[in-house]
Amino acid sequence: QVQLVESGGGLVQAGGSLRLSCVASGRTSSMYFMGWFRQAPGKEREFAAAINWIGGSTYYADSVKGRFTISRDISKNTLYLQMSSLKPEDTAVYYCAGKRDRGGDYRTVWRYDAWGQGTQVTVSS
């Protein structure tokens, strides 16, 4: 099993930046993709960004492309999400997730096998 713990959320003004971190423990070698999802109040959880854990290829939702950057430090078993030019509509609980399977859509919530507890990001206007 893999355990994921996020940190770095908080309150920021529109246009500001935040960096989220996710520390993974356990069988991290079993994860093929790692991703960030977010869930705003009253809405479904949605894909934000993903990274091929070993290869490093990155993927983004259109809503965050050009503003968010996903990265990882394999030596520290840590996943990051650098968020810039934040907007009030980015307000959500952000979740770190791990996906074992190489196949399947990396944007799909149910294809992920491990989840963190989430960290709140609030962007004020």
Place 103 in a pLDDT band, splitting at 50, 70 and 90: confident
10: amino acid identity, one letter: G
- Give the three-state DSSP class for 87: coil
Predicted pLDDT at 104: 87
Predicted pLDDT at 67: 98
- What's the whole-number average pLDDT of the chain? 96
What are the tens digits of pLDDT across the range 50-101?
Answer: 999 999 999 999 999 999 999 999 999 999 999 999 999 999 999 999 999 8
C-alpha pair distances (Å), 72 with each of 52, 89, 96 = 9, 25, 12
Give dist(CA 95, CA 37) in Å, integer. Answer: 5
Predicted pLDDT at 28: 79
CB half-sphere exposure, 85, CA atoms < 13 A: 7
Predicted pLDDT at 94: 98
Predicted pLDDT at 1: 85
Task: Write the CB contacts of 18 (distance below 8 Å, at least 6 apart in sequence).
Answer: 8, 9, 10, 12, 83, 86, 121
Predicted pLDDT at 29: 80
- Give the three-state DSSP class for 6: strand
Predicted pLDDT at 27: 83
Q: Tokens 């004020």 correspond to what residue?
A: 124
Predicted pLDDT at 50: 98
